[in-house]
Chains A and B, each alone.
Chain A
Amino acid sequence: MAEFLLASSGFVLAMVAVGLIRVLHGPANADRMMATQLFGTGGIAVLLLMAAATNVTALIDVALLMALLAAFAAVAFVIGGARSDGPDPEGAERS
């Protein structure tokens, strides 16, 4: 069973790594952010699978932290983009 869990964790990691091609090609910054978002969720899945495969429960805490940081990264991207890109298309919600 541990082998299966480790193998699927490797598979998810490979998928996420392939998805990072989007970071290289873009074209927009939002697309690059989507790839890093996928990296965040994929990393969480990899950590959870490894925690189950190796019985190291501390990895679940690392996954929790990664979930938090992935959300913060995206929010920081959107706030930074709003500052540099001009007005919001949906009107003046942000003062």
Chain B
Amino acid sequence: MSLVLDIFTVVAVGAGAFFFLAGTVGLLRFPDPLTRLHALSKADNLGVGLIVLGLLPRADGPISALKLIVVWLLVQSAGATVSQLIARAARRGMSQP
């Protein structure tokens, strides 16, 4: 059972790290601000989400696990709000050359 949980952790954390790689590459390589924001929000939501998912079996107790989930939810809601706000700021920048 412990081995199964370890494998689950390795797979989920590895996938989360991969999404951070994807987010960084997208942020550096994509041509315009909105596509870069698109790449960034993938890293935000899926990267942190998968890492939290992978760390859940290793949490000390229910309180600790709950705290991890709260971090994830906070990142999700903040990421969604901030993406909207930054997209609006980017659009304002584009409309005023």
Taking Cβ atoms with an 8 Å cutoff, the residues of A that contact B are: 1, 4-5, 8, 11-12, 15-16, 18-19, 21-22, 28-31, 33-35, 37-38, 41-42, 44-45, 48-49, 52, 55, 57, 60-61, 63-64, 67-68, 70-71, 74-75, 77-78, 81-82, 85-86, 88-90
Contacts and interface: CB of A to CB of B under 8 A. Distances in A.
B24 A28 contact: no
Given A11-B17, A21-B28, A64-B70, A41 B91 contact: no
8 contacts: A15-B21, A18-B24, A34-B36, A34-B37, A38-B23, A45-B51, A48-B68, A67-B78
Identify whether the interface residues of B are mostly helix, strand, loop, or mixed: helix
Interface of B: 6, 9-10, 13-14, 16-17, 20-21, 23-24, 27-28, 33, 36-37, 40, 43-44, 47-48, 51-52, 55, 58-60, 64, 67-68, 70-71, 74-75, 78-79, 81-82, 85-86, 88-96
Which one of B9, B37, B92, B95 has the greatest number of beta carbons of chain A within 10 Å? B92
